Amino acid sequence: MKKKLLIALFFVSTLAVAQEKEEVNTSFNLKEAQDFAVEHNYKNKKAMLDVDIAKKKVWETTAMGLPQVSANAKLQKFLDIPVSLAPASAFNPAAPADELAELQFGLDYSNSVGISASQLIFDGSYIVGLQAAKTYKNLSISNQIKTEIELREGVKQAYFTVLVAEENTAVLTKSKESVEKILKETSALYKEGMVDEQSVDQLTLSVNELATAVGIAEGQVRFARKLLKLQLGMDIATKITLTENLDGFVDEVKVRMAEKDFNVENHIDYNLVETNMRLQKLNLRKEKYAFLPSINLFLSHEQQNMNTKFDAFSGGKWYPMTVVGAQLTLPILQSGARLSKMSQARIELDKAEITAKEVEQSLLYQTQVAQSNYETNHETYVNQKENMALAKKIYDKTVLRYKEGVASSLELSQTQNQYLTAEGNYIKALLDLLTSKSELQKSYGIK
C-alpha cells in the first residue's frame, strides 16, 4: 500500500511540473518585454555582475589603508642542528692555527607564536588607487546603463519586426484566400464552358505563388519570434504572446517627431569617454605620487619556546619578543623608469582627450543622420501608404470587371501583383519608419 502511495505521489508531482512547464506562456506589451529583458537578458545580467565586482573592488582597495593584523605559529624540530665554525685557538691556545672548531648553537626544538599589526599612514599611490577604484565603479555602472539602453532598443526593434512579419503574413494569406475564391468560381465557369482554360491556369499560378509567399512569411514570423525571445533572455522554445498590435505603433508614427536639442554631455557614450579620461588623469597623478615617500607603523609580538625536548604544550617556558616601529620608504634612483612611466601616462591622457573630442563630433553626426533617416522614412511611409491604397482600389475594380467578364485573368493577375508589391513596399516602409524612430531615440543616448 505504501509503495502504491509513493508511486501516486511521484506521478502527481511529475504531472504538476509538466503542467507548470506547459503553462509557461508569457504575455508582453512592449514595456513589459523591455523590463523583462533588463532582468533576464544574458548580456545585461553579466553587466550587472560587473557592477557588483567593481563595488567589491572599491572595498578591496579601501581595506588596504585600514589596519592589517596577522597571526603566525611555527613548530620546528631540527633533525640536524646547524653547525658553525670558529678557529679552535679561540677555545684552546695550544691548538694549531689552521684547526677549526665545530660548534652547534641551538636546541632540538624551536617553536614560536606571534601576532603583528600594521597601519598605512601615507602612500600617494594608495590615495589615487582608492579614487581610481571608485571611478572604475562608475565606469562599470555606465557600461551597464549603455547595455540596458541598447537592450531596450533591441527589444523594441525585435518586437516591431514580429508585428510587421505577422502583418505581412496576414496580408498574403488574405490575398491567397481571395484568389482561391476567384479560382473556384472560375473553375466552375470553365466546366460550364463559359471561360477558357488559360484563365484557370493563370489563377492557379497566382495561388501557387501566393502559397509559396505565405510559407516564406510564416518562416520569417517564427524566426522573428525566436530573435525576440533571445533578446528577452528566454528559452526560444517558450511560447510568448504580444499584447500590442501594429495599429497602436502606426498611430504613434503618423505624426512626425520633433527634432530635439542634442546635448552630448547627456549621452551615455560620452559619459563613458569622460570616465575613461578621469581614469587617465588619476593614472598620471599616481605616477607623480610615486616620487613621494610612504610611511607605515607596525607592531609585532612573538612568544618563543626552545628546548632539547618538545614541551610547547606541557609547561615549557616561553620567551617574549615585542617590536614597535615606523617604516619610511623613499625611492631615490630608478634610472629614469619613473619619469618614463609618468611620460607615458601623460601621453595616454592626451589620447583620451582627443578621443573625447572625436566621440563628441561622431555622436553629433550620428544624431543628425538618424534624424535625417527618420524624416526620409516618414515621407516614404506616407507615399507608400497612398500607393497601397491606390493599388488596392485598382485591384478591387479589376476584380469586379473580371467577374463581369470585361477584364481578363492576365489583367487581374497583373493588378494583383501590383497590389501585393505595393503592400510589400508599405510594410517595408512601416518597418523602416519604426526602426528609424527607435534609432533616433537611441542616438540621444539617454536611459
The rounded distance, in Å, linking the Cα atoms of 108 and 347 is: 61
The alpha helices in 192-328, defined as continuous H runs, are 197-232, 246-253, 268-289
Cell numbers given for 149: 539602453
* Per-residue pLDDT, 9: 43
Query: Cα dihedral sign for 200, 203, 209, 210?
Result: negative
Angle between helical axes of 30-40 and 124-191 (0-180°, round to 10) = 140
Question: Is-contact 327 123, C-beta < 8 A?
Answer: no
* Per-residue pLDDT, 255: 60
* Per-residue pLDDT, 64: 87
Residue 251: how many CB atoms within 10 A of its CB?
9
The rounded distance, in Å, linking the Cα atoms of 291 and 279 is: 20
> 188-201 as b/e, with b when 16 or more CB fall inside 10 Å?
ebbeeeebeeebbe
CATH match for 25-39+148-264+273-292+344-443 among 1.20.1600.10, 3.30.70.980, 3.40.50.20, 1.50.10.20: 1.20.1600.10
Q: Which residues contact 127 (CB under 8 A, 6 or more apart)?
A: 289
Question: Is-contact 352 297, C-beta < 8 A?
Answer: no
- The one-letter amino acid at 29: N
* Per-residue pLDDT, 429: 93
Q: What is the DSSP letter of 304?
A: E
Note the pTM of the prediction, 2 decimals: 0.77
Whose cell is 692555527? That residue is 97
The pLDDT profile of the chain, 447 residues, written as one tens digit per residue, is 445 444 444 444 444 444 444 444 589 999 999 999 999 999 999 999 999 999 999 998 899 888 999 999 999 998 888 888 889 888 888 888 888 888 888 888 999 999 999 999 988 888 898 999 999 999 999 999 999 999 999 999 999 999 999 999 999 999 899 889 988 988 988 888 888 888 889 889 989 999 999 999 999 999 999 999 999 999 988 999 999 988 888 777 666 556 667 888 889 999 999 999 999 999 999 888 888 899 999 999 999 998 888 888 888 899 999 999 999 988 887 778 888 989 999 999 999 999 999 999 999 999 999 999 999 999 999 999 999 999 999 999 999 998 888 888 889 889 989 999 999 999 999 999 999 988 988 898 887
The rounded distance, in Å, linking the Cα atoms of 34 and 160 is: 12
The rounded distance, in Å, linking the Cα atoms of 177 and 393 is: 18
Residue 354: how many CB atoms within 10 A of its CB?
10
Question: Is-contact 264 103, C-beta < 8 A?
Answer: no
